[in-house]
Amino acid sequence: MIPLHPVPEAKHTCPFCQTLLEPRGWHIPGMRNLAELVCSACGREFYGDLTAGQALYTPLLLEKKTGVVHDVYGIDWFAEWLRESYAARKDYSIPFEVQERSTVTQPVVLLNCLDTLYGHCLLKLLNAQHYLDHRPDVDLIVMVPSFLEWMIPDGVSQVWVVDLPLRQGTEWNDWLAREIRHHLQPFTTASLSVAFSHPHPDDFDIERFTGVKPFPLDEWPTDIEQPAVTVIWREDRLWRNERQPASRGLDKIKRQFTFEERPAKIQAELVVALAEALRQEWHDLDFAVVGLGRSEKLPDWINDLRENELNTDRERQWCARYAATHVVVGVHGSNMLLPSAHAASVVELIGEDRWGNFLQDILFRPGDSREMFFRYRFIEDDVSASRLARLLTSLLRGLPKFRFLMAPRFCKHGIDYELLR
């Protein structure tokens, strides 16, 4: 926890004098948690990131007068969000609802889950459980964008629901900063949660957030007769046809002229081809498609649960579907967070352009490390439907045998094997 109120703890150095800056106060105009800082040597004033979320790795410094962002980390995207939001500072009211779920009796800690990326918001929220389970000496306030309200776990003292769409998630809004100050000021002291960007799987239990119990891993049948397979659909990042070039540079131009006025159509064909191939293996296959965008019609025998926009009821229904799924399949991205947290196993399609973000979108269900390799597979995003079907078949049929071969009784020394016969 980072001391926040009344005076935050922040270690930033004046880029001109190399002197440690003096924290004077704090300002939270949105996703950014900032210390107000002054240089005692040159008198310059700054805003410095408090070390939460991405700023835990790369806390940046912004000069108040000039708007210049001092970025010693070379983290361009994070610096740009700060620079641009400050240059275009807003001051307008947005819906801000305070839900008092229990009486606050202790010092408070604020978990700020605002962000411009869906996955970032969700991952920050998963930090809530740590305070609920391990910090009985503090009361937790969670600030979330409204689309995450349904995932607030029991035990949170206050929920601040901010109706801030993702596309405005980087915005610097001084009205919002005043509102946050107004609600935090009554508390004598307040801390800020570090809001880890990649919380450890041991530190949260997804059921506490979604209310849905994940697939019981020990109930995977020995001889699977009706596998449940769920494809995660999105239309802004696609399962590419193996003939389709990656959408980069010249390739991108070539793609515009050679393929796909309707790329989602090709993706739909691939999904249907995958389902058809699996149906050859299992006549009673339970195959569903879940996700955002409904631009192509799917055959009636596919359980089509897609939506054009996120809505809470549907999201709960999606989680229930993941939790009944033997294997979820989808392209890399935050679309895989909740599916991977609930389903028994995952096959992810990941292109070279996403290698740098490997595993950041997977919420692992911890277990034996060898079995984890078996249950989490990663394959190129231009894989053909038939090859993907073979991989899924191998996984669906192979898990029981794999578990048998790797069972503790066959790899722990000191067991009397005569007794096992």
CB of 40 to Zn ion, least distance (A): 8
For Zn ion, the closer of residues 46 and 318 by Cβ is 46
For Zn ion, the closer of residues 44 and 183 by Cβ is 44
28 contacts 43 by C-beta, under 8 angstroms? no
Strand partners, 377: 347
Residues with Cβ within 8 Å of residue 173, at least 6 apart in sequence: 29, 30, 89, 90, 91, 92, 94
| Structural element, H or E, at residue 288 | strand 286-291
238 binds Zn ion (CB under 5 A): no
Is the torsion defined by CA of 414, 416, 417, 421 positive or negative? Answer: negative
For Zn ion, the closer of residues 18 and 369 by Cβ is 18
For Zn ion, the closer of residues 20 and 217 by Cβ is 20
CB of 48 to Zn ion, least distance (A): 13
Total residues in contact with Zn ion, by rule CB under 5 A: 6
Q: Of 14, 190, 266, 331, which lies in the binding site for Zn ion, with binding defined by CB under 5 A?
A: 14
Q: Which of residues 26-45 bind Zn ion (CB under 5 A)?
A: 39, 41-42
Q: Which of residues 135-174 bind Zn ion (CB under 5 A)?
A: none
CB of 37 to Zn ion, least distance (A): 10
Q: What length is written for the chain?
A: 421
Q: Of 16, 57, 73, 410, which lies in the binding site for Zn ion, with binding defined by CB under 5 A?
A: 16
- CB environment 79-108: b (16+ within 10 A), e (fewer): bebbbebbeeeeeeebebeeeeeeebeebb
For Zn ion, the closer of residues 64 and 387 by Cβ is 64
For Zn ion, the closer of residues 40 and 256 by Cβ is 40
117 contacts 54 by C-beta, under 8 angstroms? no
Q: Which of residues 247-306 bind Zn ion (CB under 5 A)?
A: none
- CB environment 304-333: b (16+ within 10 A), e (fewer): bebbeeeeeeebeebbebbbbbbbbbbbbb
Candidate ranges 12-20, 22-30, 228-236, 273-281; the one touching Zn ion (CB under 5 A)? 12-20
CB of 68 to Zn ion, least distance (A): 13
For Zn ion, the closer of residues 14 and 228 by Cβ is 14
Alpha-carbon gap, residue 128 to 123, rounded angstroms? 10
For Zn ion, the closer of residues 39 and 62 by Cβ is 39
For Zn ion, the closer of residues 20 and 324 by Cβ is 20
For Zn ion, the closer of residues 43 and 136 by Cβ is 43
Phi/psi of residue 319, each to 5°?
Answer: -60, -40
332 contacts 349 by C-beta, under 8 angstroms? yes
Taking CA 136 as the corner, what is the angle to CA 132 and CA 141, rounded to the nearest 5 degrees? 50
228 contacts 288 by C-beta, under 8 angstroms? yes
Candidate ranges 6-14, 111-119, 131-139, 192-200; the one touching Zn ion (CB under 5 A)? 6-14
CB of 14 to Zn ion, least distance (A): 3
Q: Kind of pairing, strands 96-100 and 69-70?
A: unpaired
3 state SS of 319: helix
For Zn ion, the closer of residues 41 and 411 by Cβ is 41
Farthest-apart Cα atoms in the chain, separation: 81
Candidate ranges 11-19, 108-116, 146-154, 350-358; the one touching Zn ion (CB under 5 A)? 11-19
CB of 69 to Zn ion, least distance (A): 16
CB of 241 to Zn ion, least distance (A): 57
**Residue that is written with structure tokens 């894989």 in the block:** 383
Q: Kind of pairing, strands 158-162 and 303-304?
A: unpaired
Q: Of 3, 7, 9, 17, which lies in the binding site for Zn ion, with binding defined by CB under 5 A?
A: 17
**Residue that is written with structure tokens 């070539």 in the block:** 254
Candidate ranges 2-10, 17-25, 96-104, 340-348; the one touching Zn ion (CB under 5 A)? 17-25
CB of 16 to Zn ion, least distance (A): 4
Q: Which of residues 350-409 bind Zn ion (CB under 5 A)?
A: none
CB of 24 to Zn ion, least distance (A): 14
Q: Which residues form the interface with Zn ion (CB under 5 A)?
A: 14, 16-17, 39, 41-42
